[in-house]
Copies of this chain bind each other. A is one copy, B any other.
């Protein structure tokens, strides 16, 4: 996944310290693949995955829409050249004054998952379109979503009726099957729930128009993942099964699936050591860790591919840890990582599939270390 352009960048620019390089051409290819796989769905790029201005500008120029988590993200998208009509304020947890600011900037599409949020939007963005997020079970996802977002489907019906009563446009429902979802059938149960909410509301004369099918599209880390095409077919089949020939408008919100495989982090081996003479395993310490951009290694959830110049040599399982004085800054220990036995202090390692959820996750200055640098080429 280290493209020739990225390899060339590292070779010629030789940046000091850990850094991420994102290849714009891969983002473009991913966008095209989503377009082809789900030609009838609008793409709302999940800005939080990687808000680098060059990525937002590229996607804006390709015609993408944007899923924003905050006013700051909305402003970045506007700055990148997309109009407010291409923005969804997709965070279900919003301050009322932020809703008002977004509305003043022209945003007219908001996520909700409870009556209280509907009331805020009715006051701060009167007449706006809202969609209600429905809880789904995240089984099969490598980064499960828990119960934090969404409400059960019967409550979603009440929430959307309430929105209608308060003068908002009850526009649709959303769900999120869980990040890095590799089970194609995951969308089926969620679409069945969505259809039931549509039907319940239609009985009350409220006609929803849109299903926001969220993100969850995976990046290939170590294991193969289904193609965008396979997702497209499975989702289209599920949509047809549940909605028949009255297909709603649909939205997808790829983040990881759009930029994850477009980025590579360069890091350096700072130390390799053992804890005792008879320790079976080496500890390999990099100059990046859980607080420097690899937060998604939390609980060893995401397992990134790691490349070295010595990959032809014999491999042995190692503990992999970051450079901070924090004991939690260990990436892989329960499930150790195979690395070349010849790996040496000072070696460069490439951590692939790191285009998403790395730069902005980095801590601002923990242990005095700078946040992750980033280059988009």
Contact = CB atoms under 8 A, between A and B. Distances in A.
Contacts of A277: 154-155, 158
Contact of A48 (B48, B143, B146, B368): B368
A69 to B, nearest CB: 4
Contact of A361 (B72, B144, B272, B363): B363
A55 B115 CA distance: 45
A364 B368 contact: no
Interface in A52-104: 68-73, 76, 90-96
Contacts of A179: 327
A197 interface: no
A73 B152 contact: no
Given A71-B368, A93-B323, A367-B73, A275 B48 contact: no
Contacts of A47: 368
Interface in A254-272: 268, 270-272
Given A90-B325, A369-B70, A117 B273 contact: yes
A241 interface: no
B327 A69 contact: no
Nearest to A16: B97
Given A93-B323, A360-B363, A276 B152 contact: yes
A161 interface: no
Given A114-B271, A116-B273, A364 B362 contact: yes
A325 B69 contact: yes
Nearest to A275: B151
Given A155-B277, A271-B116, A325-B149, A359 B364 contact: yes
Interface string A142-186: 011111111110110010000000000000000000010000000
A268 B95 contact: yes
A252 interface: no
A216 to B, nearest CB: 12
Contacts of A273: 113-117, 151
A69 B370 CA distance: 13
> Chain B CB within 10 Å — which of A69, A94, A274, A365 has the most?
A365
Nearest to A76: B368
A366 interface: yes
A95 B369 CA distance: 12
Contact of A276 (B68, B155, B365): B155
Contact of A364 (B93, B326, B329, B360): B360
A255 to B, nearest CB: 9
A7 interface: no
A61 B364 CA distance: 27
The residue among A93, A147, A275 with the most chain B CB atoms within 10 A of its own CB is: A93
Given A363-B362, A364-B363, A145 B369 contact: no
**Which 9 interchain pairs have the tightest Cβ spacing?**
A72-B368, A114-B273, A70-B368, A73-B368, A69-B367, A145-B327, A152-B276, A364-B371, A146-B327
Given A51-B365, A72-B368, A117-B271, 19 more contacts: A48-B324, A48-B368, A69-B367, A90-B325, A91-B367, A93-B285, A95-B270, A115-B273, A116-B271, A116-B345, A146-B333, A149-B327, A151-B273, A155-B274, A155-B276, A291-B295, A362-B363, A363-B363, A364-B371
